[in-house]
Amino acid sequence: MKVFANLDPGGYQPHPLHSAERIWPETNCYVDLWIEVLSAQKLPPEAMLGFTLTQDFEGDQFTFFKVPLEDLEALYGIRVTELAIFDRPERHVTEQIGRGRLSLLELDSYYLPDTRGLTYRQQHGKTTVAINRLDLETRELDYFHNGGFFHLAGEDFDGLFQTNAAPNALPFLPYTEFAKFPAGYPGSKELRETAWKLLRHHFIRRPAKNPIRAFAEVFPAQVEKVAERDFSFFHKYAFNTLRQFGANFELLASHLAWLNSKSFSDAEKQALRISEVAKSTQFQLARAVTRKKFEPLATALDPAAEAWDLLMADLAVTLGQAREAA
């Protein structure tokens, strides 16, 4: 049984939002997953990205941006809620697949072959996958993860679901959601109108103060502490800071271009500027950690902070004009 019957990991083509030519070809596991799930249904994932305006600096990291579930329902009619796990997780997943529902589970990337060369069989880590097909007898499944659609089987299946755990081991209770899909999806005009409304809604919810400037104030001191840790910690720090806001604003640029590239041309440029600065600063971060020289980081983020101010000022005007026209 499959949720989406015509999908084959062997011939799957990722959405252009995951093109290798982008500044950040992958963002984070949750948003990347939904980009591909929506694309598999011939729906534009760009429509859901207005929520990226709300990203803030949380003191030790940037907001791990996730599409609000209410946005998925408002835009596409997809309802997502938590799935209670009181039996073996794979049995719950099988039941939901039979009902045409996609299950999203937080699992261990150590057993995900698509992360080969990164975490696969090297490092344990929490990540979200969406299971399209699961076969308990052959111990295999097809799943959405990051920027694609993949297959695994055998020992990886056993590891993911802890089927060989000792009798006295703690129960395996991963956080799980499941998605219910509507009988039909809205047309392109309705989808675009809803996306406009959500963009205005999220603009009102934007941070009161510039989050990149707030990060820049503590960035050099944080990096000094990172440099004292094992180098593997550098990757975790970079992922949760520079990559999160860099990828976030590249997705915002794609959203604005999808909505109206002419009206949002200046805002799109500023969003891309933020993303580019985050990428270049990540290289500076690696050098600073290696050489233990942190002074250049003091001003590295200034162009991105300035771009954030310009971006929000431009959106205030454009969305105000759009409201008047509406």
> In this predicted structure, what is the pLDDT of residue 297?
93
Model confidence at 321: pLDDT above 80: no
> In this predicted structure, what is the pLDDT of residue 34?
98
Note whether 51 and 67 are within 8 A (CB): yes
> In this predicted structure, what is the pLDDT of residue 90?
96
The whole-angstrom separation of Cα 146 and Cα 157 is: 18
Average pLDDT over residues 197-202: 98
> In this predicted structure, what is the pLDDT of residue 326?
43
CA distances from 257 to 90, 156, 252, 269 (A): 40, 40, 9, 10
- Residue 170 — pLDDT band, cuts 50, 70, 90? confident
The closest alpha carbon to 311, from 260, 251, 257, 249, belongs to 249
Residue type, 27: T
Q: Chain-wide mean pLDDT for the chain?
A: 95
Model confidence at 115: pLDDT above 50: yes
Query: Rounded to 5 degrees, what angle do the CA atoms 134, 155, 84 make?
Result: 45
For the entire predicted model, the pTM comes to 0.94
Q: In the chain, what percentage of residues exceed pLDDT 70?
A: 98
Q: How many residues does the chain have?
A: 326
In this predicted model, what pLDDT tens digit does every residue of 26-85 receive, in sequence order?
999 999 999 999 999 999 999 999 999 999 999 999 999 999 999 999 999 999 999 999
- Residue 86 — pLDDT band, cuts 50, 70, 90? very high
In this predicted model, what pLDDT tens digit does every residue of 240-294 receive, in sequence order?
999 999 999 999 999 999 999 999 999 999 999 999 999 999 999 999 998 898 9
Model confidence at 101: pLDDT above 50: yes
> In this predicted structure, what is the pLDDT of residue 93?
97
> In this predicted structure, what is the pLDDT of residue 323?
55
> In this predicted structure, what is the pLDDT of residue 232?
84
Query: Which of 23-37, 100-114, 158-172 is predicted with the least confidence, judged by mean pLDDT?
Result: 158-172
The closest alpha carbon to 39, from 7, 65, 69, belongs to 7
